[in-house]
A and B are shown apart, each in its own frame.
Chain A
Amino acid sequence: MTWAANVFSGYALTAAAVVAYATWVVRRGRVLGRDLGIGPAGAGTDPGRSHPETSQ
């Protein structure tokens, strides 16, 4: 393997892992918020306003 392939793989894997985890976190928040009836999903409702403890 050349250095270019390894460097590219390293950056691609890092970006993929961070984006995948961030996406999972945000989606889980939307699903839970919708199930709990805390504002419409995806409407940008701040749970911190509805539930003070979530904005600590």
Chain B
Amino acid sequence: MTGSVATRVLGAIGLAAAAVMAILALWVSPADAVQGDAVRLMYVHVPSIWVAYGSFVLTAFASARVLWRTRSGAGGTEGVIADRQARHWDRVAGAAAELGVMFTGLTLVTGSLWGKVTWGTYWQWDARLTTTVLLFVTHLGYLALRRLPAESRARARRSAVMALIAVVNLPIVHYSVDWWRTLHQEASLEIGIGGDRNYSGEMYWTLLYSWATFTLIALWIGIHRYRVLRLEELAEEAALEELLSVRRSEPSHDEPVTER
């Protein structure tokens, strides 16, 4: 129902890419000199958080657009256009946040599985892990806020504020390994030319390929989720319209009572 030719092609490419990724990550890529074969978990752990980062940045950007488009109560055609754009960005924010939460959850799970092999423990309350949990929980709160019953404009605005507060933690998560002494290793790849790499050769390319695969899959799910959110709005409007028509067809209770 939410599919189109473009999403079917995207889905097929994503599926094929995932199959190739599994071969590259589990067989082709060599074991790490220090981590051994546990490094194979990095090909799902690192791309998961990268996709989550991207999703949360998109959520924040879309939320800022929501606040911008709803800042004034413009009427007429301008108001209608602003409302439609605000709804569009609100859907983008909601769809991206769900993906971000799912991929952050996967980052935490795969990270703890990797930690058990390399650190000897599933969990350690170090700066990176703790701030990542905070990122997960705050965005979970954002999703809960979106579900609270309220007028759509008010709900979109208060959710947008929450998203902008939650995203402040994102750079803290990323730079936590540089700012504090943590058990967690440093960033896998530095941003910019000439940056340090903890991975090279086949491992480096496998990591980048895995990230591209995760991005494709996230994009495919995100487009579908966006369309489902639109359908949910239509269903909500239809239900409201039905209730109103039932109410209108009922005899009015406001009619004056005639004395016998």
Interface on A for B, CB 8 Å cutoff?
1, 3-4, 6-7, 9-11, 13-14, 17-18, 21-22, 25-26, 28-30, 32-36, 38-39, 41-42, 44-48, 51, 53-56
Contact = CB atoms under 8 A, between A and B. Distances in A.
Contacts of A35: 235
B117 A53 contact: no
Nearest to B222: A25
Interface stretch (B40-48, B127-135, B137-145, B167-175): B40-48
B109 interface: yes
A1 B227 CA distance: 42
Chain B contact residues (Cβ within 8 angstroms of A): what range? Answer: 35 or more
9 contacts: A6-B113, A7-B113, A18-B221, A22-B220, A33-B1, A33-B2, A34-B1, A53-B87, A55-B227
Contact of B227 (A10, A44, A54): A54
Contacts, number: 116
A48 B38 contact: no
Contacts of B3: 26, 44, 46
Nearest to B25: A11
Nearest to A31: B1
B37 A54 contact: no
Contacts of B106: 13-14, 17-18
B217 interface: yes
B30 interface: no
| SS class, residues of chain A in contact with chain B | helix
Contacts of A7: 26, 37-38, 40-41, 113
Contacts of B164: none
A17 B22 CA distance: 16
A38 to B, nearest CB: 7
B26 A11 contact: yes
